Amino acid sequence: MSAIDGLPPLREVIARHDLRAKKQLGQNFLLDLNLTARIARAAGDLTQCDVIEVGPGPGGLTRGLLAEGARHVLAIEKDARAIPALQEIAAHYPGRLTVIQGDALQIDPLAHVTPPIRIAANLPYNIGTELLVGWLTPPQWPPFWQSLTLMFQKEVAQRIVARPGGKDYGRLAILAQWRCEARIVLTLPPQAFVPAPKVESAVVHLTALPEPRFPADARVLGEITRAAFNQRRKMLRAALRGLHPQVESLLEASGILPTARAEEIDLERYCALARALSAARATAAAGARQE
């Protein structure tokens, strides 16, 4: 039976190209084209956009993105075995799919796409967080992308959207929510994939805000959250002691109890602390210059 886009069913594609899943490449394929269409729809209106897809594999999500009207898809796949299967899709959608074989951690996609740009992917789990952190920390804001629609292990998805007060809340939540709207749009059981992974998965949709929710220097905010959450059981006055000699008064000036712990503090207060620390360091540096 041919699928909705006139291309062969994915099981047939996988058999014909001998695409047996390899664990070391994080390969868990989605074979249900209704599901990949749902993920593509969650990415928003694609008709005016170029979409970057990391790890297209046999092309289930790629087909969803193209069928949903993506202007152009740039698909970056490490596994050479998948390239001929992806070229068949490219032939079916002339001029709308570019396939690059290589490592998404090494390739700069920007030479191959035109704004507006969205990113959509069923990510290889071993590099998913690294790719996300890279996309969330570009050299300038707003970033080159409008939105990210990404499949993660459910536990990672929960850490991205977590609110203060629980064990999921940490650096990833702060990094993601400082400059993005982030929500889980779909949760999937292991059986949705071939082969089935051990854990549940979830799709997170992140939309880039035009500017951060609260002003702060990205580097200083990162420094604070790293120190705070690396010692999340300690009181902040102890966990942040190395950042500034008067850290306790900086905490108080930012509306934070020095005895509080990292997971109790919301984004607004972390940003206030980042501004206070930047200002205190600037004052100290100006004083040192005058001496």
Choosing from 45, 103, 211, 268, the residue that interacts with ligand SAM (CB under 6 A) is 103
Choosing from 4, 105, 133, 282, the residue that interacts with ligand SAM (CB under 6 A) is 105
Say if residue 242 carries a ligand binding annotation: no
Is-contact 235 258, C-beta < 8 A?
A: yes
Residue among 100, 95, 89 nearest 67 (CA):
89
Secondary structure in 3-state letters for 225-276: HHHHHHCCCCEHHHHCHHHCCCHHHHHHHCCCCCCCEHHHCCHHHHHHHHHH
Widest pairwise Cα distance in the chain: 81
Residue among 36, 62, 33, 65 nearest 49 (CA):
65
Is-contact 197 217, C-beta < 8 A?
A: no
Q: Which residue is nearest to ligand SAM (CB)?
A: 55
Say if residue 86 carries a ligand binding annotation: no
- For residue 80, what are the contacts with CB-CB under 8 A and spacing of at least 6? 101
The backbone region for 165, taken as left when phi is positive above 0, alpha when psi lies in -120 to 50, beta otherwise, is left
Say if residue 188 carries a ligand binding annotation: no
**Nearer to ligand SAM among residue 85 and residue 176 (C-beta):** 85
Residues 42-71 that bind ligand SAM (CB under 6 A): 54-57, 60-61
**Nearer to ligand SAM among residue 128 and residue 170 (C-beta):** 128
CB atoms within 10 A of CB 45: 12
Residue 109 contacts ligand SAM per CB under 6 A? no
Residue 127 contacts ligand SAM per CB under 6 A? yes
**Nearer to ligand SAM among residue 107 and residue 243 (C-beta):** 107
CB atoms within 10 A of CB 235: 16
Smallest separation, CB 133 to ligand SAM (Å) = 15
Choosing from 27, 149, 153, 225, the residue that interacts with ligand SAM (CB under 6 A) is 27
Choosing from 7, 13, 14, 28, the residue that interacts with ligand SAM (CB under 6 A) is 28
Say if residue 32 carries a ligand binding annotation: no
Residue 119 contacts ligand SAM per CB under 6 A? no
Element (H, E) at 10: helix 10-16
**Binding window for ligand SAM (CB under 6 A); candidates: 119-127, 164-172, 240-248, 259-267:** 119-127
CA dist 273 and 265 (Å) reads 10
Q: Give the total of residues touching ligand SAM (CB under 6 A).
A: 23
Residue 78 contacts ligand SAM per CB under 6 A? yes
User: Where on the chain is the footprint of ligand SAM (CB under 6 A)?
Assistant: 25-30, 54-57, 60-61, 76-79, 82, 103-105, 122, 124, 127
Binding site, by residue number, is 28, 30, 55, 77, 103, 122
